[in-house]
C-alpha cells in the first residue's frame, strides 16, 4: 500500500479449527446464519456470485479470485464505481483456534477514500464479530441489527 491508496485491515481469533471457520466463510448455508440473506452459490475460485443482505433490497455481484481450502479466500466486489479486492487469510491460532485476517484494497487517499475506509473497517469488524458469535455461540448478531436502515 502506498501513501496514495487506502486499505482496510482487521483481524480476530476464533475458538474453532481452521476448517470450520473456512466453511463458515465459503458455504452459503452457513453465511446466511450470520452475514448475508442469500447467495447464488459457494465461494470457489473463478465463480461469479450474487449476494443479498437482509437490510438491503438489492443484489451485490461477487467475482471470486481465488480460494485455498482452510487458508485463503479472495474476491472482488463493487464499492460505488470502483471494484475492490477482499482477502481473507486464516492462520493457526492458540489451542486449535483460527486467526482470521481481512484486508480490502484499495481506494484513493482522499475524502471519499477516507469515508470508505471508515465505513468498511466498521463493516469488516462487524463481519468478524458476527462470524465469531455464530461459530462459538450459535448466535446471529446481525439479525435485526440494521433494520433501522430500511426506515
What is the structure's pLDDT at 94?
92
| 22-72 pLDDT tens trace | 999 999 999 999 999 999 999 999 999 999 988 777 789 999 999 999 999
Beta strand extents in 20-135 (DSSP E only): 38-39, 48-52, 59-68, 72-79, 82-92, 98-108
Instruction: Please tell me the least confidently modeled range out of 52-61, 72-81, 95-104, 106-115.
Output: 52-61
* Range 72-80, long-range pairs (CB < 8 A, 24+ positions): 73/22, 73/25, 73/26, 73/43, 75/43, 79/107, 79/116, 79/120, 80/116
What is the structure's pLDDT at 76?
97
Sequence-distant (≥ 6) Cβ neighbours of residue 116 within 8 angstroms: 6, 79, 80, 107
Q: Point out which residues pair with 51 in neighbouring strands.
A: 39, 60
Judge whether 4 and 56 are in contact, CB under 8 Å.
no
CATH of domain 5-150: 3.30.530.20
Report whether pLDDT(1) > 60: no
Judge whether 3 and 20 are in contact, CB under 8 Å.
no
What is the structure's pLDDT at 146?
72
Q: Which residue blocks in 54-110 are alpha helix, DSSP H?
A: none
Mean pLDDT of 2-29: 94
What is the structure's pLDDT at 121?
95
Report whether pLDDT(151) > 60: no
Mean pLDDT of 72-90: 92
pTM of structure: 0.92
What is the structure's pLDDT at 137?
97
What is the structure's pLDDT at 66?
98
Residue 143's pLDDT band (cuts 50, 70, 90):
confident
| 117-128 pLDDT tens trace | 999 999 999 999
Amino acid at each position: 500500500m502506498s501513501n496514495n491508496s487506502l486499505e482496510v485491515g482487521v483481524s480476530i481469533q476464533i475458538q474453532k479449527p481452521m476448517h470450520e471457520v473456512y466453511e463458515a466463510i465459503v458455504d452459503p448455508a452457513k453465511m446466511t446464519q450470520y452475514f448475508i440473506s442469500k447467495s447464488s452459490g459457494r465461494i470457489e475460485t473463478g465463480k461469479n456470485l450474487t449476494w443479498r443482505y437482509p437490510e438491503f433490497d438489492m443484489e451485490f455481484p461477487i467475482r471470486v479470485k481465488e480460494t485455498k481450502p482452510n487458508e485463503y479466500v479472495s474476491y472482488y466486489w463493487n464499492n460505488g464505481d470502483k471494484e475492490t479486492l477482499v482477502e481473507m487469510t486464516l492462520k493457526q491460532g492458540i489451542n486449535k483456534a483460527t486467526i482470521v485476517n481481512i484486508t480490502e484494497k484499495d481506494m484513493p487517499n482522499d475524502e471519499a477514500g477516507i469515508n470508505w475506509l471508515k465505513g468498511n473497517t466498521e463493516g469488516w469488524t462487524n463481519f468478524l464479530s458476527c462470524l465469531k458469535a455464530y461459530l462459538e455461540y450459535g448466535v446471529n448478531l446481525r439479525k435485526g441489527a440494521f433494520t433501522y436502515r430500511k426506515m
